[in-house]
Chains A and B, each alone.
Chain A
Amino acid sequence: MNTPVYAPIRTTSVDQVGLEARAAELGGRSIKTSSKRAALHLAIRCIDLTTLEGADTPGKVASLCRKAMRPDATNPAIPHVAAVCVYPEMVTHATAAVAGTGVAVASVAGAFPSGLSDIDVRTDDIRSAVADGADEIDIVLNRSAFLSGDLSRVHDEVAASKEACGDAHLKVILETGELGGYEPVRRASMLAMAAGADFIKTSTGKIPKAATPAMALCMAEAIREYAHQTGRAVGFKAAGGIRTAKQAWHYLVLMGETLGPEWLTPERFRLGASSLLNDILLQLGKLDSGRYGGPDYVTVD
């Protein structure tokens, strides 16, 4: 099926069985122990440390930011994460906390997580978050329009959102769990990239079906295809359900094998997570001491 998606961007079919087998196979790669530390540090540097709860307060956000800047207060060798990710209302608190540290501030915007409000309301939300200091904006794809076949509307809304971002970079969340399979995800990926997304992202983390390695592979293949057709490199963010260092490694291997080492950088790869960071710290602790750690030995900020 080589049908036009929008403009001259072509997409292709995806075989589920083959895709899932390849994704699983890549999970079997063993990383050299001496590379594990570098891999764990890289994973940390790619984390968007996230809090998106109705109960978030300035205090909670400040605490998150401290953890983002200094994941392990006792060990200055541990790098800071890529970004914190918060609701628009919390952006000013976040920017104040991380100013000058190299940690970016990402804000969800635009009727997150459903995306179901007027496009003007959504783009206003974006502009407002950017004005408050957000460096990065995470929006959701309009799945309602996508699933009812209105692809040009989906495209135009992403393009409008990109414009509203100004200098901020735009991540488009596909919410892969709602799209009904790998082919729609591939199509949605190509559409979002064609409309100007800087990153495509798997999930909001707000529905049970979250990121899976096979979905990540599907999206990485779309990114590869898009780069092949246009020369533009788009980043990938996995979010939702990523809790362990082992999972993080799986995604790193997937990215490296599919897109090459140029994608193994926070400029092109992010992990949206909250508890992942502590598991990585536990793994780093094990590399140092040879012992398995426990939850009492990492902090819960």
Chain B
Amino acid sequence: MADPTADDPIPDFGLDYAPAPESTTVVSLADEYGLFIGGEFVEPRSGRTFDTINPATEERLATVAEGGAEDVDRAVAAAGTAFEEHWRDTPGTVRARYLYRIARQLQERSREFAVLETMDGGKPIRESRDVDLPLVAAHFFHHAGWADKLEHAFPNRDVAPHGVVGQIVPWNFPLLMAAWKLAPALACGNTVVLKPAETTPLTALLLAEVLRDVDLPPGVVNIVTGAGETGAALVGHPDVDKLAFTGSTGVGKQIQRSAAVRRLPLTLELGGKAANVVFEDAAIDQAIESVINGIYFNQGHVCCAGSRLLVQESIAEDFVERLEQRMARLRVGDPLDKNTDVGAINSAEQLARITALVESGVEEGAVLHQAPCDLPDRGFWFAPSVFTGVQQSHRIAREEIFGPVLAVQTFRTPEEAVEKANNSPYGLSAGIWTEKGSKILWMAERLRAGVIWANTFNKFDAASPFGGYKESGFGREGGLQGLGAYVRDAGGHD
């Protein structure tokens, strides 16, 4: 483009952003990764491997091992040995030191981890850099400080760790979910076998490097990559003393069936279909931003996403119009571009699920509006979408889509809002938008959800307990209440 001159008409600046790509040179990927067992990377006894790809480009990133039953067995044994031989007797102050070291290293290597997370999972670099990684470091830092204070977290109780903990984490916040699992488990003196999600193993494997660099004793944390079968082997292993799972409600129920029969301590963090309730007396401009963030942050791959907008009828038409105007400004594209708002859908399978549910919405009579955007040819993409004319019984209002799709319904009174918000088998989160304090508290009392955001959304903190009601799971992660899952009463059954 020719340089502008003094006499030119006002330049069509047109907010021409991007590309502002984050450099990937900070990441050095191996071609192939083994399993991390007993402090070392080892070949899988299963002999099986699979590839992990970048969902924005469909390019292969690396080959990782698929842990079979024998590999899971090895990992559980390593965790058990580590627990018996030293970790159970390691003082809290020393466990704390390891966790502090991990936190510091994650802060120092934060850019590297953020870029890798984006490449492997498809989320925008701005999110992995500004949200995921800081929360990851904070989670380890926070729990380091509990490791040597358990008598204050559980006053008047004589507590002990469970032993070997099996943990299965999902693909939407791979490293953050791993942190949410590992930090409290280690702080309380347990050893771990972690099974990352099939489509996003890489940041967990890079974390293994950090665990070695901080001299964490071998076997305290073991990482077994794989898919559904690997997870099932872990869930069914007789020497696992406690299980923690974050993922779909369907799989969660299977795990519960297996664990219940064995009377195994279990925590589950499953799906959601959160209602974001906007009253007419809301701070409208900020409510719009928050509704947008609530459903389009991380492409809607968020269990606590505000996937249902319940807007008071008196402002509904105007609100939806503003919402659509705001949606049109969302930038969908290369997740590594610092200007991107909405990244790639995590996998072909997930894209197919979203597409099918959206089609059902249209078939059932709801009206689909989509933000105009140029989607790249390669990779998995879905344009931010909103449905109006939605009925409570529509599949798009009841089933978790786990994509950038918002369903809009209206209500007239606070009671009606509560009724509609609670009318779901899920109960993970909810949002309330009103400037009236007493109404926030009144609504919060009545909403059957484990996390309620008032005049904000999608806020997480290591000190703030997170978890659901009803079919969104049980147990909490983070905060004082989240620690409890990782101890038992000493002198109780072993």
Contacts and interface: CB of A to CB of B under 8 A. Distances in A.
Interface of A: 1-2, 12-15, 17-19, 21-22, 28-32, 34-35, 37-39, 41-42, 45, 76-80, 221, 225, 252-253, 256-257, 261, 264-266
B286 A32 contact: no
A252 B280 contact: no
Contacts of A78: 6
B436 to A, nearest CB: 9
B281 A80 contact: no
Given A28-B338, A41-B4, A261 B15 contact: yes
B286 A77 contact: no
Contacts of A225: 285
B18 A14 contact: no
Given A32-B17, A35-B16, A79-B8, 10 more contacts: A14-B283, A15-B455, A15-B456, A30-B338, A42-B13, A76-B6, A79-B6, A221-B285, A261-B13, A264-B10
Contacts of A14: 283, 285-286
B153 interface: no
B281 A18 contact: no
Contacts of A42: 10-11, 13
A13 B13 contact: no
A37 B455 CA distance: 39
Nearest to B338: A30
A245 to B, nearest CB: 14
Contacts of B283: 12-15, 18
A253 B339 CA distance: 12
A18 B6 contact: no
B284 interface: yes
Interface of B: 1, 3-8, 10-20, 126, 280-287, 289-290, 329, 338-339, 435, 455-456
A266 B10 contact: yes
Given A32-B16, A35-B13, A45-B10, A15 B281 contact: no
B192 to A, nearest CB: 35
A2 B281 contact: yes
A162 to B, nearest CB: 26
Contact of B13 (A12, A22, A39): A39
Given A18-B289, A266-B10, A13 B16 contact: no
Given A1-B281, A18-B456, A29-B339, A77 B6 contact: yes
Nearest to B322: A228
Given A2-B281, A77-B6, A19 B13 contact: no
Nearest to A18: B286
Contacts of B11: 38, 41-42
A37 B13 CA distance: 10
B285 A19 contact: yes
A34 B435 contact: no
B8 to A, nearest CB: 8
A18 B287 CA distance: 8
A265 B16 CA distance: 15
A253 B18 CA distance: 13
Given A41-B11, A77-B5, A79-B6, A17 B456 contact: yes
Q: Which 10 A-B pairs have the closest CB atoms?
A: A18-B286, A30-B20, A15-B286, A15-B283, A35-B16, A38-B11, A79-B6, A13-B283, A256-B15, A13-B435
Contact of B284 (A12, A37, A264): A12
A37 B4 contact: yes
Nearest to A183: B283
A167 B289 CA distance: 39
A247 B16 CA distance: 17
Contacts of A37: 3-4
Contact of A32 (B3, B18, B282, B289): B18
11 contacts: A1-B435, A15-B286, A30-B18, A34-B1, A35-B16, A38-B11, A45-B10, A77-B4, A79-B6, A253-B15, A261-B14
Contacts of B290: 18
A126 B204 CA distance: 68
B289 A22 contact: yes
B19 A32 contact: yes
A82 B59 CA distance: 50
A166 to B, nearest CB: 26
A13 B289 contact: no
B380 to A, nearest CB: 25
A38 B285 contact: no
A238 B461 CA distance: 35
Contacts of B126: 28
B13 A264 contact: yes
Contacts of A34: 1, 16
Interface centre among B16, B283, B435 (most CB of A within 10 A): B283
A80 B456 contact: no
Contacts of B281: 1-2, 13
Contacts of A256: 13, 15
A1 B315 CA distance: 13
Contacts of B1: 34, 38
Given A18-B289, A19-B286, A264-B13, A2 B280 contact: yes
A185 to B, nearest CB: 13
A145 to B, nearest CB: 25
B371 to A, nearest CB: 15
Nearest to B285: A221
A32 B6 CA distance: 21
Given A13-B435, A41-B11, A261-B15, A30 B285 contact: no
A253 B17 CA distance: 10
B130 to A, nearest CB: 8
